[in-house]
Structure 1
């Protein structure tokens, strides 16, 4: 897992679980590097106890980096996606 870069806003894991970039296997990822996002837009999901928990951006910005590999376990408050200000 990579670290968030100072000056960027990190979208963080709301719970402990498994990180997924897409809503289901074979589907397009929610976001890719370079995409513009708006507040409330889904950027990933974290699965915990067979429940899929949507992770949303809390601000507008451009996706600068995806910090976690698909299917990787994540901890509470771990940075998942870095956003540059829009």
Structure 2
């Protein structure tokens, strides 16, 4: 019987702490279904690289037939979209990683 070569080992999962510490997670506040766009066939609210303002809608989580807008807590850049459209989410699921912008120093008025 010919020897069967061993399968290559599966790549190790990316460690949770491999993201820069400046990236902040956006967490699902409820159980529901994640939607990336306001309606089927429409473009997503945000994609990687987009600049977002505080309180800007990032996605929708549908819970008990209610569409709940999930918004950015502060101004920043979307660095990672963690789910695909129509994915079920649990409370605490990471939806996005956003890198907040450094506050712009204000010049004293003369």
Is the structural similarity TM-score above 0.5? yes
1:22 lines up with 2:33 in the alignment: no
TM-score normalised over the length of structure 1: 0.90
2:87 is aligned, of 69, 72, 84, to: 72
RMSD of Structure 2 on Structure 1 (CA) = 1.7
Task: Please give the alpha-carbon distance, in whole angstroms, between the structure 1 residues aligned to 2:72 and 2:25.
Answer: 9
- Corresponding pairs, count: 85
Greater relative contact order, per chain length (Cα 8 Å cut-off, separation 6+):
1
What is the TM-score with the length of structure 2 in the denominator? 0.71
Structure number with greater Rg is 2
* Residue from 42, 45, 48 that aligns with 1:33: 48
- Between structures 1 and 2, the one with greater strand share: 1
Deviation sequence 1:9-62 (CA, Å, 0-9, x none):
111111100000001101111001000011100000001111100000111110
The 2-side partners of 1:69 and 1:28 are apart by 13
Aligned structure 1 segments of 4 or more residues deviating by more than 4 angstroms: none
